[in-house]
Structure 1
Amino acid sequence: MDRRIRLRHIQAFVEIIRQGSLKRAAEALFLTQPAISRTIAELEEIAGARLMTRSRRGVTLTPQGEFFHDHALNALAALSNAMAGLSGEGEAAALSLRAGALPSVAARLMPEVVADLQASAPHLQLTILDGAHGHLTSALRSGDLDVVIGRLGAPETMQGLSFTQLYLEDVAVVVRPGHPILDDPDLRRIADFPVIYPPEAAAIRPFVERLLIAEGVPRLPRRIETVSGAFGMVHTPQSDAVWFISAGVVAREVAEGRLARLPIDTTLTKGPVGLMTRASLPETSAQLLFRQAVMRVAEGFPAGT
């Protein structure tokens, strides 16, 4: 490795890509914009290649930048893991794990995984964060998360990650009990109502779009885009909204009659849910314990659900 490359070069480069602009990256790193610009200029001079292009819309990686980005993320993640292993005293201090979970996983799978770990590995310190697919996979690549459980995303979102399938999950279309659409549950009627719809970054968005195209659903004029389960749980029961959401998020509410699932065929929305890790790094003891617990719990899920 060229000895002129410093940690500040890699941190600045990764943060610019994460933030999408030099200005926001400079603020996140407590630098001035000229300072971070000089840092990237130094890095590109050392690399002997242009790593990114700047425009009013933000920054875009060049092919050389794409290649360097993957390795830079792995380098930061490895350093983060090494420092975590050195902090504190003894093996117990190193056995901590930061897990990311999509909302459906946080609601359906993770409570059982936590119960399993409390019995099988009570010394494992577990931190759970939920969020959208793009945010979680980005955090996994950068080393801010150790594992992620969620849907298999588009190829460009899975670069540098390994994926182990656990089960299949579909998208549910739910409304409040007594909703007018339940009298005639035709998906084409949803355009008459407000619709809670997955945003572009959501892993289920392409599946929902595929379903609507197949069913000939027209444009949705009253659309609220969010993956917030908290919002959907409050807004849907007290309105005429139609909510597209991963089935696992609302499974309990549907079973208990607090929400009603439209009786329509959602086979087209089924997709694999699995365990994601960084492909280039060896499995840690904490990751092994977590994976074993996840696999034990997932074995109890019916196939195809």
Structure 2
Amino acid sequence: MIMHPAIKLRHIRAFLDIAANGTLSAVARAQGITQPALSRTLAELEDLLGATLFLREKRRLVLTDNGVLFRRHAAAALQMLEAGAEALHPSGHGGRLRVGVLPTAATRLFPRVALRFRHAAPRVTLSVETGPHSHLVRLLRDGGIDLMIGRMPAASDMAGLRFEHLYEDRIALVSAAHHPMRGQPVAQVLARCPLILPPADALIRRAVDEYLLARNLASVQPAFETAALAVGRGILAGSDALWFISGGVVEDELDRGDLVQWETGAGFLSGAVGMTRRQAAPGQPSLELLARLTHETVLDGHII
């Protein structure tokens, strides 16, 4: 089947934006059009394709199987068009680059890289997606993002992807600086104080669970589960809780003295941080520039 000639680039961009956001209202605001107009654009695309691309679940639009399939190809096609436009003006580095950033890289590494990138390629818009590992890996596979920066995915998630190592990031155990049990054995403190653990699906959760199991603390029920800096920092500030979290998330808070790190005595509480991208992705000058600047930022010693 040949693609219907009435399908325009505006249909493709609208579809990809809705797929990434999940709501019509936010995309309509971002595009400067009304929600009914955006809804008509989506309906036109589905009619022209002869397929339903989204299902409505409560207030969100969720991709159907056909939508997932079309998104993968549409994103790749749009990326190749943008790469072609860039190739005509290689010194300008225009366009948009979509990057997924995991919590461990979001606080210190990526902001520094983003500022360097802005200086080197001021005509490129960095569109940044955050969220849990599973969400970003799915976006990467479907073409919703061009690159993911953060901890190395599990081996089961690496099919069709490639990982470039940047550095090792420790899992830190932190608390507020004024914690009343500072100086006491960490095992006793963990048994008596509320714990904040990474979410169950976080890459670092297994290592934390193994650490607690080795110290006969596996039965301790966590009070909270989060990898969000704002949430964890707020809970620590108002309690005597302790938080297991990637060191990169709280590096600035530790440097300022707002949080303190507890010695765990476990060298295995660390993991690789790097850049993950699709193996078959076409070359993109702005993407290669971002990758180079990321490596340079790490080598300059501003991260570790």
TM-score computed with the length of structure 2 as normaliser: 0.72
1:267 — aligned with what?
A: 267
Deviation at 1:129, TM superposition (A): 2.3
Residue number in structure 1 paired with 2:80: 82
Q: Are the equivalent residues in 2 in contact too, given 1:95–1:285 (CA < 8 A)?
A: no
Report the 3-state secondary structure (helix = DSSP H, G, I; strand = E; otherwise coil) of the residue aligned with 2:280: coil
Question: Which residue matches 1:54?
Answer: none
Question: How far apart in 2 are the matches of 1:275 and 1:291?
Answer: 8
Q: Shift of the alpha carbon at 1:5?
A: 9.9
User: Does the Cα contact within 8 Å between 2:175 and 2:261 map onto a contact in 1?
Assistant: yes
Whether the 8 Å contact between 1:174 and 1:260 is mirrored in structure 2 is yes
1:185/1:262 contact within 8 Å kept: no
- The verdict on how the C-alpha distance between 1:125 and 1:265 changes in structure 2, with shifts beyond 3 A counting, is same
User: For 1:80 and 1:195, how far apart are their aligned partners in 2?
Assistant: 45
Equivalent positions of 1:53-92 (< 5 A) are 74-82=72-80, 84=82, 91=89
**Cα distance 1:159–1:5, how it changes in 2: closer, same or farther (>3 A)?**
farther
- 2:213 is aligned to 213
Quick one: distance in 2 between partners of 1:230 and 1:258? 13
Aligned counterpart, 2:235? 235
Q: Distance in 2 between matches of 1:72 and 1:215?
A: 49
2-side partners of 1:127 and 1:138: how far apart?
16
1:226 equivalent in alignment to 2:221: no
Q: Are the structure 2 counterparts of residues 297 and 4 from structure 1 closer, same or farther at C-alpha, using a change threshold of 3 Å?
A: same
Alpha-carbon separation, structure 1, partners of 2:172 and 2:67: 37
Q: Secondary structure at the match of 1:261?
A: strand
Aligned to 1:98: 98
Distance 2:73 2:249 in 1: 35
Partner of 2:15: none
Aligned residue number for residue 179 of structure 2: 179
Name structure 2 gaps, 5 residues minimum: 8-17, 23-41, 53-64
How far does the alpha carbon of each residue in 1:102-136 deviate from its partner, in whole angstroms, 9 at most, with x for none? 11201110122123223322232212222211111
Distance 1:297 1:287 in 2: 15
Distance apart, 1:169 and its partner CA:
0.3
Hey, what's the Cα distance between the residues in 2 that align with 1:265 and 1:153? 25
Q: Which amino acid aligns with 2:200?
A: E
What amino acid is aligned across from residue 132 of structure 1 in structure 2?
P
Change (3 A) 1:73 1:271: farther
Provide Cα deviations, 1:157-208, integer angstroms capped at 9, x if missing partner: 2222110000000111111123133231323531322211111221211221
Q: Could you tell me whether the CA contact under 8 Å between 1:74 and 1:280 is conserved in 2?
A: no
- Residues 136 and 243 of structure 1, relative CA distance in 2, 3 Å threshold: same
Aligned to 1:55: none
Contact kept in structure 2, 1:188 and 1:215, CA below 8 Å: no
**1: CA distance, partners of 2:85 / 2:282:** 20
Q: Which amino acid aligns with 1:78?
A: A
| Cα distance in 2 between the residues matched to 1:111 and 1:73 | 29
Which segments of 5 or more consecutive residues in structure 1 lack a partner in the other structure? 8-14, 20-29, 41-64
Give the aligned residue type for 1:75. H
Residue deviations 1:132-151 (CA, integer Å, cap 9, x gap):
11111111111111111011
Distance in 2 of aligned mates of 1:285 and 1:206: 37
Alignment: residue pair count: 256
Q: Map 1:132-143 onto structure 2 (within 5 A).
A: 132-143=132-143
Q: Which residue is equivalent to 2:296?
A: 296
Q: AA paired with 1:102? A: L
Aligned mates of 1:80, 1:123 — CA distance in 2: 18
Query: Partners in 1 of 2:132 and 2:250 — Cα distance?
Result: 17
Distance in 2, Cα, partners of 1:131 & 1:244: 18
8 Å CA contact retained: 1:112, 1:297: yes
TM-score by length of structure 1 reads 0.71
Partner amino acid for 1:138?
A: R
Q: 1:187 to 1:71 in 2, by over 3 A?
A: farther
Task: Please tell me whether the aligned partners of residues 99 and 128 of structure 2 are also in contact (alpha carbons under 8 angstroms).
Answer: yes
Deviations 1:195-236 (A, max 9, x none): 111112212112212222233323222431111111012111
Correspondence for 1:22: none
Residues 74 and 141, structure 1, Cα contact 8 Å, conserved in 2: yes
Find the residue that maps to 1:220 and give its secondary structure.
coil
